[in-house]
Amino acid sequence: MNPVKILNTMVLLSLLGCAATGVEKGTEEIPPVPNLPDVDDDGDGYSELEGDCDDTENLVSPDSIEITETLTGEAEGVDNNCNGEIDEYQACDSSLDDDDSNDYAKAMGACGDYLKGTEMTTPFALWNSPRAIEQSFGNNFPREGQQMAILSTGKAKEDASKRTGHEYGFAGDTEHPFPQPAPNDSCGIADPTAVSDLTSFKLELVVPRNAQAFAFDFSFFTAEYPHFVCKEFDDTFLALLDTGDGVKRNISFDENGNPATVNAGFFDVCKVSDDDPRCKGTEELQGLNFATDEGGATGWLSTIAPVSPGASITLEFFIFDEGDAILDSFVLLDHFRWLAEPVDGPVTID
Whole-angstrom distance, CA of residue 318 vs CA of residue 267: 18
Tell me where in the chain the CATH 2.60.120.260 domain(s) lie: 101-349
Whole-angstrom distance, CA of residue 66 vs CA of residue 206: 15
248-274 mean pLDDT:
90
Check: CB of residue 177 under 8 Å from CB of residue 222.
Answer: no
270-276 mean pLDDT:
86
Confidence of residue 43 (pLDDT cuts 50, 70, 90): confident
Residue 3 has pLDDT above 50, yes or no: no
**Helix, strand, coil percentages for the chain (3-state, nearest 5):** 10, 25, 60
Can you give the pLDDT at residue 325?
79
Cβ–Cβ contacts within 10 Å for residue 143, how many?
A: 20
Give me the percent of the chain exceeding a pLDDT of 70: 83
Can you give the pLDDT at residue 55?
80
Helical (H) or strand (E) element with 108: helix 101-108
Strand partners, 330: 152, 221
Residue 13 has pLDDT above 80, yes or no: no
Provide the mean pLDDT of the chain. Answer: 84
Helical (H) or strand (E) element with 174: strand 174-175
Residue 230 has pLDDT above 90, yes or no: no
Whole-angstrom distance, CA of residue 263 vs CA of residue 340: 33
Residue 49 has pLDDT above 90, yes or no: no
The strand pair at 249-250 and 236-242 is best described as: antiparallel
Whole-angstrom distance, CA of residue 149 vs CA of residue 103: 9
- The answer to whether domain 101-349 has CATH 3.40.50.720 is no
Whole-angstrom distance, CA of residue 211 vs CA of residue 213: 6
Confidence of residue 180 (pLDDT cuts 50, 70, 90): confident
pLDDT in tens, 302-340: 999 999 999 999 999 999 998 887 888 999 999 999 999
How far from each other are the two terminal CA atoms of the chain, in whole angstroms? 74
Residue 146 has pLDDT above 90, yes or no: yes
19-32 mean pLDDT:
52
Whole-angstrom distance, CA of residue 233 vs CA of residue 314: 29
Residue 39 has pLDDT above 70, yes or no: yes
Length of the chain: 350
Helical (H) or strand (E) element with 101: helix 101-108
Residue 18 has pLDDT above 50, yes or no: no
177-195 mean pLDDT:
79
Check: CB of residue 220 under 8 Å from CB of residue 140.
Answer: no
State phi, psi for 301 to the nearest 5 degrees.
Answer: -130, 160
Whole-angstrom distance, CA of residue 156 vs CA of residue 137: 9
Can you give the pLDDT at residue 163?
59
Q: Where are the alpha helices (DSSP H) in the chain?
A: 3-21, 101-108
Check: CB of residue 66 under 8 Å from CB of residue 87.
Answer: yes
Can you give the pLDDT at residue 319?
96
State phi, psi for 218 to the nearest 5 degrees.
Answer: -145, 155
250-278 mean pLDDT:
89
Q: Tell me how far CA of residue 249 lies from CA of 35, 179, 187, in angstroms.
A: 44, 11, 21
Check: CB of residue 218 under 8 Å from CB of residue 301.
Answer: yes
Whole-angstrom distance, CA of residue 79 vs CA of residue 59: 10
Residue 125 has pLDDT above 90, yes or no: no
Check: CB of residue 54 under 8 Å from CB of residue 45.
Answer: no
pLDDT in tens, 53-81: 888 888 888 888 889 899 888 988 998 88
